[in-house]
Chains A and B, each alone.
Chain A
């Protein structure tokens, strides 16, 4: 178990640029979640995948945000035309699929900290 891996750990970019983050989940986990965390707040749900299917998206996920999980393994989160308000920690988590509607424990990566200049 190598844990959830996120890259890069830090990203600094100018307003208006596009950025892409990568998440490698725990290998046997078929659920993958993206969250955004700002200072002094808990993680806020953005979207989740079961295998390669994106099953749910938050209203927080504007049309500038897109996420993919093309082969049901790693996932990418892209933000187009970045704005100052996008500065945050972007966290990825993975879990096994819910069993009989029982949620399975989520395991988080260490996040990508995005700073918009």
Chain B
């Protein structure tokens, strides 16, 4: 089965700085890569996704890059704000299932 590794597990940044979270995966058949933000007591919320035929996608302060050859993808958050503080999960999709990383707890210090 798919193995998704996510780093770092915790990340603290000053407000206004950028944050980068990286994930690697093992199954070359994976073709869809969503990122989720989970706040305390809530379910994961989809924030951005990318498909395997695209190398980069951007939505305002959030961007995702994908390197299919190296089997890794990254989430980039620019101009971080305190409300960005949450746990972020990467995921992959292959064979009708989604596989999630172990999460990154992001703290944005005002």
Contacts and interface: CB of A to CB of B under 8 A. Distances in A.
Contacts of B46: 105-108
A33 B98 contact: yes
Nearest to B91: A42
B45 A42 contact: no
A56 B43 CA distance: 22
A104 to B, nearest CB: 9
Interface residues of A, number: 25
Chain B's interface size range is 20 to 34
Contacts of B4: 42
A71 interface: no
B51 interface: yes
Interface string A83-117: 00000000101000010011101111111000000
Given A40-B103, A41-B102, A108 B31 contact: no
B31 A110 contact: no
Given A40-B103, A105-B49, A45 B41 contact: no
B31 A102 contact: yes
Interface in B86-110: 89, 91, 93, 96-103
14 contacts: A42-B4, A42-B6, A42-B89, A42-B103, A43-B100, A45-B97, A56-B97, A91-B43, A102-B51, A106-B34, A106-B46, A108-B36, A108-B46, A110-B43
Interface of A: 4, 6, 33, 40-45, 48, 55-56, 91, 93, 98, 101-103, 105-111
